Amino acid sequence: MGVVWLPNIFAKPQYDFVYSICSSYQCQDSYSISSSGNIVANKTSNDDFSSRYDNYELRYYNVKTGSSRALNDEEISRLKLDGNSKSPDGYEFVDQSTKNYTFLWQSKDSGMYLKKGLARKSVNLDSANHYTNPKLLGWVEK
């Protein structure tokens, strides 16, 4: 017998998204979206030492397949993104961490979700060995 979490049944996001992750303790590189929807790297170099820690990676998440992959420079230059916090179909990219306590046990459920009202869909982001939480950069324009 299986238990179905109803909010997952109703969540049907339609827009893929791009997110960034950092694989070092200190990242000096950040990204933004231009008014035309292009991804722009905003480098700040305080000194040569800190520039060695610029280690952001941009990744593409496909909502249909539930998978993500690294983006190369050519793909980054071709993509057009919507930088709003909500996708055109109304979903938000959220971190929904919860802690559960019982008498002798504590567990923590953490994860990233696409959420619209009560409907939510867990997103499995390839962010192992990264020191920062994934950050939404934008929704891929269709």
What is the phi/psi pair of residue 6, to 5°? Answer: -55, -40
In the chain, which ranges are E strands? 17-22, 29-33, 39-43, 56-62, 67-70, 81-82, 92-95, 98-101, 106-109, 112-116, 119-123, 135-140
pLDDT, position 102: 52
Domain coordinates in residue numbering, the chain: 13-89+124-140
Query: Counting every residue, how long is the chain?
Result: 142
Q: Model-level pTM? A: 0.78
* Mean pLDDT, all residues of the chain: 78
Report the share of the chain in percent with pLDDT over 90.
43
pLDDT, position 107: 43
> pLDDT of 32-51, one tens digit each?
899 999 999 876 655 454 44
Q: How far apart are CA 116 and CA 59, in angstroms?
A: 22
> pLDDT of 64-79, one tens digit each?
999 999 999 999 999 9
pLDDT at 108 > cutoff 50: no
| pLDDT band at residue 59 using 50, 70 and 90 as cut-offs | very high
pLDDT, position 131: 58
Distance of CA 45 to the CA centre of its chain: 25
Q: Which of 8-17, 60-69, 74-83, 102-111 has the lowest mean pLDDT?
A: 102-111
